[in-house]
Amino acid sequence: MTITNQTRRESWKTVKPTIKTRQDAVLETLTRLTCFPEPLAVTAEKIADQMGVNIYTIRPRLTELMQAGKVKAISKIQSPVTGKRIARYQVAE
């Protein structure tokens, strides 16, 4: 096993017990940010900013929530931070 595989596995063991809690926090924040008379969509950057965490902790949780059918990516916009195209998310119906 390579060093990077070992460190990745060690990190996963640390993070795994908290995944559900983190997913719930992301879903709750997304719900709060998008629950208006007409559903809105927000970026991972916005969710991370609202939660006060690094975006790299949000993106994997959004992917997991999308795979679980709880969140959907509905459009793309240009990021004001990076200038790259990024997805906007919404709670799945």
Answer yes or no: is 34 within a domain.
Answer: yes
The span from the CA of 56 to the CA of 77, in Å, is 19
CATH no. for residue 59?
A: 1.10.10.10
Answer yes or no: is 9 within a domain.
Answer: no
The 10s digit of each residue's pLDDT in 2-59 is: 999 889 888 878 877 877 899 999 999 999 888 776 668 899 999 999 999 999 989 9
What is the pLDDT, as a whole number, of residue 17? Answer: 81
3-state secondary structure of 76: strand
Answer yes or no: is 2 within a domain.
Answer: no
Answer yes or no: is 70 within a domain.
Answer: yes
Structural domain including 76 reads: 18-91
The span from the CA of 89 to the CA of 93, in Å, is 12
Answer yes or no: is 8 within a domain.
Answer: no
What is the pLDDT, as a whole number, of residue 38? Answer: 66
Answer yes or no: is 3 within a domain.
Answer: no
Answer yes or no: is 45 within a domain.
Answer: yes
The span from the CA of 41 to the CA of 90, in Å, is 5
Contact 72, 90 (CB under 8 A): yes
90 versus 12: which is more confidently predicted?
90
Domain count for the chain, please give it: 1
The DSSP code sequence of 18-62 is GHHHHHHHHHHHHHHHH-SSS---EEHHHHHHHHTS-HHHHHHHH
